[in-house]
């Protein structure tokens, strides 16, 4: 009996824990305009391979995605990949299209609820839009991310592109999308909060 018990422990110890991080985002996470292997999500995958090799990164981001699109796609992704952590990088396209702020906020709340219902932790990335939309709308847009994070008690990464958006050499010609050179800075903006949600490497 003792030998069987010992064998059982050995088998259990050989089954390494593994988890996954699901990125649900738009063009900023889909490496728009740059080689896919230069995007911040690929850089995240490479960094985790060194620091937390038990984690996989699944990127379901697509250019042009909105919060509504995320709501329709997230349940299937949660069911398929069963991630431990969902990173939500959505809302910018809603804002650029002038969607009602309350609708964007409601959709983000629903996305958080969907992820949590599947047993995943959530990391929310704050987005901003250009000031030419008017201060009432643009400031209200930024504020809704803090509100969602506070209501849902989820960590919030301050403006995802804060360190690159005002540096023309780090932005593509459209002024909206970061260059390949900017991608490490995007990852560095996300990394501390993301690291706090990962199980210790082991």
- Known catalytic residues are 27, 174, 177
The DSSP 8-state label assigned to residue 12 in this structure reads H
Strands (E), 26-119: 55-59, 85-89
If one counts every other C-beta atom within 10 angstroms of the C-beta of residue 7, the result is: 10
- In three-state secondary structure terms, 21 is strand
If one counts every other C-beta atom within 10 angstroms of the C-beta of residue 170, the result is: 18
- Asked whether the CA dihedral 67, 73, 75, 80 is positive or negative, the reply is negative
Gap between the Cα atoms of 11 and 181, Å rounded: 45
Q: Do residues 16 and 79 touch, judged by C-beta distance below 8 A?
A: no
Q: Which residues pair with 89 in a beta bridge?
A: 25
Q: For the chain, how far is it from start to end, CA to CA, in angstroms?
A: 30
If one counts every other C-beta atom within 10 angstroms of the C-beta of residue 41, the result is: 25
């Amino acid at each position: 009996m003792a030998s069987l018990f010992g064998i059982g422990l050995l088998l259990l110890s050989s089954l390494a824990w593994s988890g996954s991080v699901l990125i649900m985002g738009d063009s900023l996470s889909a490496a728009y305009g740059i080689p896919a292997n230069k995007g911040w999500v690929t850089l995240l995958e490479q960094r985790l391979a060194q620091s937390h090799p038990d984690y996989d990164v699944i990127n379901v981001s697509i250019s042009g995605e909105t919060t509504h699109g995320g709501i329709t796609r997230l349940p299937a992704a949660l069911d398929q990949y069963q991630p431990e952590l969902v990173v939500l990088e959505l809302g910018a396209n809603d804002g650029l299209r002038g969607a009602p702020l309350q609708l964007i906020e409601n959709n983000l709340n629903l996305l958080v609820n969907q992820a949590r219902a599947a047993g995943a932790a959530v990391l929310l990335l704050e987005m901003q839009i250009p000031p030419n939309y008017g201060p009432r709308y643009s400031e209200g847009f930024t504020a809704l991310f803090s509100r969602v994070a506070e209501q849902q008690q989820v960590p919030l990464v301050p403006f995802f592109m804060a360190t690159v958006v005002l540096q023309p050499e780090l932005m593509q010609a459209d002024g909206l999308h970061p260059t390949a050179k900017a991608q490490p800075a995007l990852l560095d903006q996300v990394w501390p909060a993301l690291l706090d949600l990962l199980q210790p490497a082991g």
